[in-house]
Amino acid sequence: MIRPLAFAMTIAPLCAFAASGLSETPPTPTETTIQCEDGMIYDTETKICKPIQQDSRIETERAYKLVRELAYHDRHEDAQMILATMDQSDDRVLTYLGFTHRKMGNGDAAMAFYQKALASNPGNLLARSYMGQFFVESGQVELAQAQLTEINARGGRESWPAKSLRWAIASGRGASY
């Protein structure tokens, strides 16, 4: 018999994995990207699109899912507005800030955020992958390869961060999520 606490402890990391961006499955579109215009997110309580507010209080894991979904749909500024409402010292927030800045062409800002994320959590494989993808996009493949080596050394050889970085090195392009 599985006890509820044991089950919760088993499933919680899997839920965090999916929301964290470590899944190789593209994010599923929600009402936010299906119905809402730029600068808006779907409010599940009122069932309408509302402006993203700097002081909005979105539950943390939903916020990460929204950020990932918005970034996948090239709504990087909207993703940044949500990230601005979150804990700015969280390495996942820093990683996504780096990602969105990179996708918007702000390479220096992206690199600064990736470095802050890795200073906070050297085991952040997604930050290493995105940093490596930045290196690929800027023609520094040897530095990208060094990040892939580090991901592999940290046990991430078959993870989405490793797979997406290997693809980026092979193709010369970064991933969309």
- Tens digit of pLDDT for each residue in 103-126? 999 999 999 999 999 999 999 999
**Range(s) within the chain of domains with CATH label 1.25.40:** 88-177
**DSSP code of residue 101:** H
Return the pLDDT at 8.
35
Specify whether the CB–CB gap between 96 and 21 falls below 8 A: yes
Residue 124 exposed, middle or buried by CB count within 10 Å (0-12, 13-18, 19+): buried
β-bridge partners, 50:
41
pLDDT tens-digit profile of 125-164? 999 999 999 999 999 999 999 999 999 999 999 999 999 9
pLDDT digits (tens, 9 = 90+) for 70-82: 999 999 999 999 9
Q: Give me the residues paired with residue 51 across strands.
A: 40
Q: What is the pLDDT of residue 176?
A: 67
Multiple choice CATH, 88-177, 1.10.3470, 1.25.40, 1.10.600, 2.60.120: 1.25.40
**How far is Cα 177 from Cα 173, in angstroms, rounded to an integer?**
12
